[in-house]
Homo-oligomer: A and B are copies of this chain.
Amino acid sequence: MVNRAQASLEHLYKVFTMPEGQDSKLAQIEQHLSDNLSDFLSQHIVASETPLEKLEAMFDGADLPEQPQFVSEHAESLLSNLVAHSVNTYSPRFIGHMTSALPYFHLSLAKLLVGLNQNPVKIETSKAFTPMERQTIGLMHNLVYRGSEGFYTNYLHSAAHSLGAFCSGGTIANITGLWVARNQALKATGDFPGVESAGLFAAMKHYDYNDLVILCSQRAHYSLSKAMNVLGLGKRNLIAVASDGHTLCPVATQEVGLSEIQKGNKVLAIVGIAGTTETGHIDPLNALADVAQVLDCHFHVDAAWGGATLFSDTHRHLLNGIERADSVTLDPHKQMYVPMGSGMVLFRNPDDSNAVRHHANYILRQGSKDLGSTTLEGSRNGSSMMLYAAIHIFGRQGYQLLIDQSIEKANAFAELIEKHPMFELTTEPTLCILTYRVCPAHLVGESLSEAQMQKLNRLNVRVQKRQRESGRSFVSRTRLKLSQYQGQETSVFRVILANPLTSKEDLIAILDEQALLAQQLDDDHVLSEG
């Protein structure tokens, strides 16, 4: 039987008042994390992947533990059950997702954050965290919109305005941006109290629209479809317009928009993507801003991935036009190297957030500067502190260096792939994302039969899975419809080169491993026969 701690008040008070001893398991874990994060992770995370069923067996059943457990005992079990089977996001060879190594200082800040345990929903539970978060939003607003000094003097700490909202991630940010767009399009007028009060059904009747639609590209993030669902707009009213290769075509967007208007529909918004999740492409933001003017609609830019590119004077121009967006989503937990749980929506016009402002009696009183008045979330943690700190510790120039080296690395990797006889670069790097696949040189760009394509797809899926399972490195995979293959579904590897610790040697090792795996797993002989 497990030796359980005693359920006494005395014992319980101890966990609140007595620090863990210096030799305790948790203190050891902390020390190891502080001394050498990479070593901690390599030592505790098992290399080869454990099947999900086995992991589920470790977290099975729903019987609440009756008795307390000693902290150190629980820490041991966390190490062996949970930590051992985590993803090593710090590893320079895990280049398949958008989480990367983090700087060391966030470890300490995380501890400070929990020690303070502020709640920025209102000033009374967060004090300085409120102006700190407002300033952090302002700094990012300035990065995107470059407002005048007077603009920020007027609005940064204004009780009647908000430059944006900090939130847990890009999905909440996108929902918030489109929520504002919806409420503005169906705002109060005359006797009509606005969609926020009357609801969508009454609002649509009042405004006499058949439907509200939003236009975006086929590569838009799934959170937009989620936003359509939750906001009551309906997923089928998110219209995926034809692309110019990989980006949203402004001409087609305007045509579709005008035809929707002719049908009696209202175009609520155009969403431009600045760094698609799958391939990193950036929609032509300036041209789309023009179209939004023609269609008289909201222009939202989802820059969750690519927004941090604005720090780089070298590459900032790729996002030209973003400053014309009505709202912009950013995800600092991606290329700004802050821990998971850091998203943000920004509004060009500081009045816009009033479209979703709300009040309550004991909290968020009228005229207060409580952040909760204009956020989708209520109580939440003060993790904007980590973003505030990161902006100051890296500085604009620091972020520029990080962004620039990521893009350079992606270009270098693309070159390696193109030179390799067993791989095909399927999408060129935009920012630091690229896709490629195992494909022998003699088949690259050829007209492939459906059977050949299926064999290649199967092989690529198997290589990706086996590589992941073996635990030395990780790329993700997706399916793309590529023009060079007449829109056939093509399974590809997807890599994101945002981890500053990833070296050229790492990239060569990843390709070598994949080439070897491809040869081992090529049961269909697609590599030799074609």
Beta-carbon contact of A225 and B380 below 8 Å:
no
Cβ B104 vs Cβ A19 within 8 A: yes
A385 contacts across to B, CB distance below 8 A: 78, 82
CB distance from A498 to the nearest CB of B (A): 12
A117 lies within 8 A of B141 (CB): no
A125 beta carbon closer than 8 Å to chain B: yes
Within 8 A of B (CB), among A138-197: 138-139, 141-143, 147, 149, 152, 156-157, 168-172, 175, 179, 182-183, 193, 195-197
Q: A267 in the interface, Cβ–Cβ < 8 Å?
A: no
A62 lies within 8 A of B333 (CB): no
A171, B377: Cβ atoms closer than 8 Å: yes
Contacts of A396 in B (CB 8 A): 64-66
**Interface flag for A443 (CB, 8 Å):** no
Interface mask (A223-235 → B, CB under 8 Å = 1, otherwise 0): 1011011111111
Across the interface, name the chain B residue whose C-beta is closest to A35: B19
Within 8 A of B (CB), among A20-72: 20, 26-27, 29-30, 33-38, 40-41, 49, 52, 55-56, 58-71
Distance A112 CA – B106 CA, assembled complex (angstroms): 11
How far does the Cβ of A40 sit from chain B's closest Cβ, in whole Å? 7
Contact with B along A90-111 (1 / 0, CB 8 A): 1000001111011111111111
CB-based contact A231/B232 at 8 Å: yes
Q: Which residues of B contact A468 (CB under 8 A)?
A: 124
This chain: how many copies in the complex? 2
Knowing A19-B35, A232-B232, the reply to whether A108 touches B68 (Cβ < 8 A) is no
- CB-based contact A398/B128 at 8 Å: no
The reply to whether B59 and A232 contact each other, CB–CB distance below 8 Å, is no
A222 with B115: CB separation less than 8 A: no
Bound-state CA distance A70–B392 (Å) is: 9
A393 cross-chain contacts in B, Cβ below 8 A: 5, 15, 68-71, 74
Q: Which residues of B contact A129 (CB under 8 A)?
A: 82, 86
Which residues of chain B are near A394, meaning CB under 8 Å? Answer: 12, 68
A444 within 8 A of B: no
Stretch of A314-322, A362-370, A504-512 at the chain-chain interface: A362-370
Binds B, one of A199-207, A284-292, A416-424: A199-207
Contact between chains at B123 and A52 (CB < 8 Å): yes
A199 to chain B, nearest CB (A): 3
Partner of A199, one of B18, B36, B211, B337: B211
Give the contacting residue for A63; candidates B108, B124, B142, B182; CB below 8 A: B142
- Residues on the B chain within 8 Å of A200, using CB: 199-201, 232-234
Given A385-B82, A395-B66: A110 in contact with B114 (beta carbons within 8 A)? yes
- Given A111-B30, A118-B340, CB of A58 within 8 Å of CB of B202: no
Contact of A18 among B33, B104, B198, B230 (CB under 8 A): B104
Partner of A401, one of B8, B27, B99, B201: B8
Q: How far is the CA of A131 from the CA of B96 in the complex (A)?
A: 21
B378 touches A12 (CB 8 A): no
Flag the segment in A242-250, A293-301, A353-361, A515-523 that touches B.
A353-361
Starting from the known contacts A20-B34, A59-B128, A107-B115, 4 additional A-B residue pairs (CB-CB under 8 Å) come to A62-B138, A84-B128, A87-B118, A230-B230
Question: What are 8 A-B residue pairs whose CB atoms fall within 8 Å in the complex?
Answer: A27-B34, A68-B397, A99-B125, A168-B341, A172-B376, A202-B211, A222-B363, A362-B479
